[in-house]
Structure 1
């Protein structure tokens, strides 16, 4: 903002009064809300401090309860429970082994693992669509390559106008 050279006494008094009014408003606000702001700042600072947990002493192992005489024919295995606990399918061992080979900086390790995992279809990685965006690509199958028509006049590259939004309509822009 440039400095105004046409300052007279009336304008000087106006700016002086505005400055004092602003200063008084700030002082009133500080008197009214200053203690609340300080209390909130202290609460936030206390929340940022690391929480000290009590140390747990090792306890003597408890004896397992006696097994009932009638044991069920099938015992639930952890492999069957895993799909219910996770949204993703288990990773094949060959793909998981990529995690431990090399470092990401050399395009190995995690970098190679993620790129390999990215190539899998979503149906192979997830048990069900997690978000609504998954439904757009869920179970589409391999991409189908479309054949291009040899006639350039028949092919429409885009639905946007080639002459800009506010230009007059061009007959080449219309798909009839």
Structure 2
């Protein structure tokens, strides 16, 4: 839109009134609906915040039979020490020693520690399955080698079809 050069006093007063009228409409709208809009914005912001669950206090140890009063004992500590429970078993010292030998750039140190730790079965590393993906490999035992049958009809070369997903089935793709 090009700028109009023939601005006279009448046109200037027209634009001034239009500007003031729009400003008054915006102020009226904000006075009327501003609180509703702010409430909706706060509700949306509260919905986006993550849900915080309450923390549970540690379980109290089972009560033991009372000790005889005649024997003096140490002063009781203010905080009872709870045993540290981890989801992983402790690392054997020989494997832990790999961390401090060499650097990862030379395929030693942390690299060698992780590759050695990866070879252990999950049951020897973790007390219980931590994620649901652990259930697929949990307590499978050592891998069993199966000997291939020499019959060509019984063996399938690949899981996928050789001629595409929507093509007609090839009789060689079926296990009979």
TM-score (norm 1): 0.53
Distance 1:173 1:154 in 2: 10
Number of the residue aligned with 2:23: none
Deviations 1:105-132 (A, max 9, x none): 0011000000110011100100100001
* Between structures 1 and 2, the one with greater helix share: 1
**Pairwise mapping of residues 31-42 of structure 1 onto structure 2 (< 5 A)?**
none
Question: Which contiguous aligned blocks of 4+ residues in structure 1 show a shift greater than 4 angstroms?
Answer: none
Which of 55, 80, 83 is equivalent to 1:81?
83
Distance 2:173 2:116 in 1: 42
Query: Structure 1: which 5+ runs fail to align?
Result: 1-11, 13-31, 37-67, 72-77
Kindly indicate whether residue 72 of structure 2 is the aligned counterpart of residue 69 of structure 1: yes
Distance 2:89 2:152 in 1: 46
1:152 counterpart SS class: coil
1:81 counterpart SS class: coil
Deviations 1:85-110 (A, max 9, x none): x1110001010000000100001100
Distance 1:159 1:93 in 2: 43
Kindly indicate whether residue 156 of structure 2 is the aligned counterpart of residue 156 of structure 1: yes
Distance 2:96 2:161 in 1: 48
Distance 1:127 1:142 in 2: 19
The Cα RMSD (Å) is 2.9
Give the number of the structure whose alpha-carbon radius of gyration is greater: 2
Please, which moves more after superposition, 148-157 or 113-122?
A: 148-157
Deviations 1:44-98 (A, max 9, x none): xxxxxxxxxxxxxxxxxxxxxxxx8257xxxxxx9x933x2x1110001010000
Aligned residues: 105
